[in-house]
Structure 1
Amino acid sequence: MSRTDGSANGTQPRDEKRTMLFACGGTAVGFLVCWWVGGAILWGFGIAVFLLMAYSWERIIRLSRAVSESDARSRTAEERFRRVESRLNALFQHQPGAVGLIDPGGCFLQWNPAAERMFGYREEELRGKHLRTLFPEESSGRTNNFFTEALHGSSLSFKTSLLHKDGYRVDLDTTVVPVQEQGITTGVLIVCQDITSATRTEEQIRHLAYYDDMTGLPNRRLFVQHLNAAMTAASRHERKLAVLFVDIDRFKIVNDCFGHDYGDMLLLQVAERFSRCVGPDDYLARTEGDEFAFFFQVPDQTAEPVGTIAKAIFDLLEEPFVLGQNLVHLTASIGMSLLSQEDESADSLMKCADMALTRAKEKGKNNYQLFNSEMKSVSLKRLTLESELRRALAKNELLLHYQPQINIATGRIVGFEALVRWQHPERGLVAPGEFIPFAEDSGLIVPIGEWALKEACRQNKQWQDAGLEVVPVSVNLSIRQFMQHQLCARIGRTLQETALDPGLLELEITESCTMDVDYASDLLHELKKLGVKISIDDFGTGYSSLSYLKKFPIDKLKIDRSFVRDIMTDPNDAAIVASIIAMTRHLNMEVIAEGVENEEQLRFLHDNECHLIQGFYLSPPLAVPDAERLMKLYSAQAAAGEESPPLN
């Protein structure tokens, strides 16, 4: 049988190829080629079945794998969602700031633990409660407005305050964020940070910037702001306005003598009293030190209404102030200015009041002055005086004159008082009354006093080296010098530098220096250890108690010229002078009368056994050459046994 002849067996010839297509699920598997070889068809079919099964399983596996991967992805997404949800919940629960979820009606749905701690309410206490439950009236309206804006899709940040469950205020930095689902706002997330501490700090800083820390009154800066506003209102409504500067007289002495704590206590009491005369349209501030400022609405621009105000202020100071065990009487100087022009500024109005205050001080204090145009020229002179006085210190224009102190019983010079003079390059010799009070007010008295001390010691040493009279020279210590730190060390250093015997230096202090008894006693004993002499100047005009004199190492009392002047016409002055002389004799002190200007005064003092005399009747203050001639004359006449010459 030939290869081409196999039809009877149902087979195709070997060289006749048949192709069969097997499919699975409509998908072609491939082609199967059969040869007329025994068993070849079965083999080919087996291969086809195998290929078909392999292909089907591959699809099943792929499908199964796809389903598995889909399930895995679904499980992963769910797990991821759960993790995200857990993280978000943890973030919500552990967020340090307060976080709350609020429904569109403004009621709380959820509240994190930080919010519970911050505001004192547990979550279940607030759930279903409206926003206004927490926010006080002054901030609830504003907070509701922001909440409404958040419901309309806006995210906002603002500062507000909320009431803690215990009733106190909590200041907040707040953010509201809309919660949206498919573009619809379903609630509002509110996030709050507690800024109470920062707010309090800001308030403290503002208070320090605009208020006096000690009295609690507004300071100069805030006073100017309110004065500007009051001036604008006064001009608009045609009202009259008065500005007053009030300065406590001699407060520096009280502060130095009793100490700063008592000084602060005194200012607090003054501030409290001044507050009594301030109405709703008026204003009071402490501008600096012992200076207070007012502005008042007044009916007109005459002196009468401001005079009434000044009297009310003086009346407030009538009653003495209690400082520990001490009663202190105060007076005040007041300067006033009136708003007169619409274009005036607060600064110019205050400057005018300040110039008037300066004038009140110059007139002896305890009075008030209303500003006038003449005061501007006076203030200009004061500025010029200060500038020239500073220049005088730098260029050695100051000099000392020496007024002799005479023992009328022996006719001998027993000392000199060094008195400061100013040799002005253009005006000539300037009287001390023209610049010493200003130097005391401005503080220039301290460097002037230090210069005078050193110059007096140097001059006295020079006289000794020249073989002239060996007598002490007295130098005045101002209250400001007396309160200077390390005064004793400075004086000791001056004595060392000039090589002057300490026993030939006499320090004169006023009674005002002894107001703080403990401080004065300690310092005076320190000075006595240096070997210097100490005298009380202007005795009888100050504040000290006679009982304190025995506590102080005082060598000499000087009877003030105000008592000596009228001893022949005023029995009271005569009695005071006689009593002082007798007292010093019992206390083993020396006494000297100053300001002796005629023979009757000299005779009275001699008859009452006051032999140490200083005054124009015997000699005016002398320049150095004249003082030297006087000492030589006295020395020569003493050596010859002659009487002292007349000095007037």
Structure 2
Amino acid sequence: MTKRTFGRPDRPPRNALTQWLSKLWNPWLQGGLLLIIVGVWAAAMIVTAIPSLFIWLASFLTMIFLLGSFAVMIRQSKAVSTLSYHKPMVEALLRSEAVPLAIIDPQGVIMELNEGAERTFGYERAELMGNWLASFVDAGSRDALHTMLEHSLNGCPKQGNIHIIHRSGYPLELHLVCAPMVQDEKVIGTLVVSHDLSDRKRNVERIRYMAYYDDRTGLPNRTLFQMRLNESLAFAHDHNQLVGLCYMDLDRFKLVNASFGREFGDMLLMQVAERFTSVMSEQDFAARMEGDEFALLFKDLESEEQLLSRARMVLQAIEEPFELKGFPIQITASIGAVTNRLGEDDDYALLNKADMALMKVKQNGRNDALLYSESWSNYSFEHLSLQHEMYRAIQRKEFILYYQPQYDMISGGMIGVEALVRWKHPIRGMIPPGDFIPLAEESGMIVQIGDWVLEEACRQNKCWQESGLPPMPVSVNLSIRQFVQHDLASKVADVLTRTGLDSQYLDLEITESMTMDVNHVSRCLLDLTALGVGISIDDFGTGYSSFHYLKNFPIDRLKIDRSFVRDIQQDPSDAEIVAAIIAMAHNLNIQVIAEGVETQEQIEFLRKHNCDEMQGYFWSAPVPSDNIEQMLGGYYM
């Protein structure tokens, strides 16, 4: 076999006669045709009226046809003869359509193939059979194919990759395994098994793209940006260069989504990404971090002022009106900037400082760029840092719920739990509620956190019930920002519907200070009790106390604040207050639960004065949901 065999044109010449002959696979049909042709020729010879020139011309054409037909029959009979040596194996392989395979003779001609190979090449069986395999292979891959087939004919299996052009016109990359077919210690052909690498490569490229790029905008994502930022910081350190980082947030982007829908929001993000190219050089780098937040990396700066100038150029580009489906929309953005001037920050520290600068811009009215300053006090930095990370925590689902059991004072059985939010920070660890709840209230994020707590507590309680544990109510604290919402009752109803929790197993806790607006409180509590949920007054005795609301509002339970319970054994005044609260509540048919119970003496005092329920560290600290499942079996009465 020579290389010339594999150097034929991309497609062999296929005139109509050749195609017709190649389809004459039935030997009886071929024999019949030959007999008819011979008969016609003989009759023509007998008829003397026909000119001799015509007779000899007809004879010549007949001989050409006979030779062509004979060649086709010889090739087919050879294929049958070759395949007969390995008939059981070949038949088994050819029946397997999942693996494309073909049998090639020593001259490189396709002698047999299965439907899998037909699908791979895109040609019909008749178009492939009896033709050189190389004629269907891309010209640049024919040498590789020749090498593999040559190794196989020498008795050595060989594999490699080649390129073909599918009949529909698109290129494919195949992995071929060429194995010799041996009979009586003689190689009589090659078994070629192929595997399409194109889909796998496309999938690998797609996975890689998804890992490092944002599908919506086509920009690099956070992962790739941090990789490039680290590389740039290392290079800048070695070459004494100034690198600038900008963290940008679109102002009031949520309003666009709420007003026009997410489709418009996505279109806006794509157009914002396109605007970066007009104000950033090729060596600069932009990425979409998450939501409506972008990060911009500027290299080889001359000064921090230049970074601020670049940032404001970006803001100016964003301020130009956008057109979304014919609607003009104008937005602004805020940018926090920082440089590697001190040379001691890693990528995380720089991103964090840029975030802090961004938060400062938002506090100052938005639509500006601000450079991070080391002069900011540690308290301010920590305050801003925690507040900004809390916003991230909501998106990244870093909040978790702990549950503190509540017990019946007489039986000691568990009769409920209070859901308490905790922040499990990926770096700082568990952050105490006292450190982040005030910040959440100050920033307004307490509403988002509170909504999540309500739904998660109801979901978990329903899960406990579905797992066969005894049903009990879960108490959820409402913030004042939640309580003043006009649609609070409908929100609670929606949560109960989504989670499937019966309303009798949800208890909502409000503080005394929330009851000052009598009209709103009355209307809101009536709407909530109409749903069937319980209402408790939390931290009773520490705020705005009024017997009027206890008498007129639909309240089910009072919670005595831990500050009174703590000193009931040492302070006679606290003891009298606790006893009076219990007696007054019972006169109004209101249950009483004492918080912060930590000693046996406190339990005995509360039991003596007929307190109904208790919770505190004497029995259990707040614990994860898994612990509650273990405790329920032993304590629930």
Report the TM range for the smaller structure's normalisation. 0.3 to 0.5
Structure label with greater radius of gyration: 1
Question: TM-score, normalising length from structure 1?
Answer: 0.44
